[in-house]
Amino acid sequence: MTIVLVHGNPETDAIWGPLVEALGRDDTVRLSPPGFGAPLPEGFPATYLAYRDWLADQLEKIAGPIDLVGHDFGGIHTMNVVMHRPELVRSWVSDVLGAFDPDYVWHDLAQVWQTPGDGEQSIESLLGGTPEERAAVLATVGVPLDIGTHVARGQGPEMGRAILSLYRSAAQPAMREAGRDLEKAAARPGLALAPTEDTYVGSLVIRRRAADRAGARTEVLDGLGHWWMLEDPARGAAVLTRFWASLD
């Protein structure tokens, strides 16, 4: 068995450190999408479909069976893969199912990034300054300073370009249209994580609705926010371990 973890934006694989430790397993693989803690190859379009194909290619190279876990945009990449290439995984976990619901509206910051000019200014502000300054900003939204410091060292111009391209490619109606295939994700067992304090991925109502369409069970994480794996890694590990055990 191999656990594959895929993070999102504006992150690096450092966000998984506490969860990996809490899981206590030696079969975890962390994949960093191009531009997000990994080099952004010249010519890589950094669209949500390009990242879907990137992830599928990476999974083909990993010995299975694979239990895939995606967070934030990594969760969107996860869903896009399992909707189109379910045979690549044994199971999947995502914390952003709401993004595929027809009623989902991108959060305010995403809409800024999707706006030419305003997006460039926002990215310059977000990713400018020193790593210490960027880590301090991350701390204000729930990323512990020690983890944020590691993340900040992986941020830079490549990540900025990737963010703008990715979010603009996924502007509505793109996610709404992608969500038409949600039922196909039911080909493999799925778990939808729903932290109650996560304000980025829509209401619990639309998250549950999308999970039901994808044939997934929903695990509500009361009191946890967007970075649930950092806020309470032991609880996150327990939820994941229980789900995987149910598949055996």
CA angle 89, 228, 209 (to 5 degrees): 60
> Per residue in 181-230, pLDDT tens?
999 999 999 999 999 999 999 999 999 999 999 999 999 999 999 999 99
pTM of the model as a whole: 0.96
Contact at 8 Å (CB) between 93 and 69?
A: yes
Of the candidates 10, 191, 177, 212, which has an alpha carbon nearest to the alpha carbon of residue 104?
A: 177
- pLDDT of amino acid 248: 78
CA–CA gap between residue 184 and residue 181 (Å, rounded): 6
> Per residue in 64-110, pLDDT tens?
899 999 999 999 999 999 999 999 999 999 999 999 999 999 999 99
- pLDDT of amino acid 129: 87
Contact at 8 Å (CB) between 6 and 78?
A: yes
> Per residue in 122-149, pLDDT tens?
999 889 889 999 999 999 988 999 999 9
> Per residue in 43-67, pLDDT tens?
999 999 999 999 999 999 999 899 9
Of the candidates 101, 98, 97, 121, which has an alpha carbon nearest to the alpha carbon of residue 109?
A: 121
Tokens of 80: 């896009």
| pLDDT mean across residues, the chain | 96
- pLDDT of amino acid 20: 98
Tokens of 226: 């967007």
SS3 206: helix
The 10 Å Cβ neighbour count of residue 47 is 15
Beta-carbon contacts of 158 under 8 Å, excluding residues fewer than 6 positions away, are 35, 39, 40
Task: Give the Å distances, CA to CA, from 172 to 40, 101, 103, 161.
Answer: 25, 11, 10, 20
Could you state, in order of their start, the residue ranges of all structural domains in the chain?
2-106+176-247
**Residue 208, phi then psi, degrees to nearest 5:** -65, -40
Topology of domain 2-106+176-247, per CATH? Rossmann fold (3.40.50)
Of the candidates 155, 194, 160, which has an alpha carbon nearest to the alpha carbon of residue 71?
A: 194
Of the candidates 207, 228, 209, which has an alpha carbon nearest to the alpha carbon of residue 97?
A: 207
- Residue spans of alpha helices (H) in the chain: 17-23, 48-60, 73-84, 108-113, 118-127, 131-140, 145-153, 157-169, 174-178, 204-213, 228-231, 233-247
**Residue 114, phi then psi, degrees to nearest 5:** -80, -5
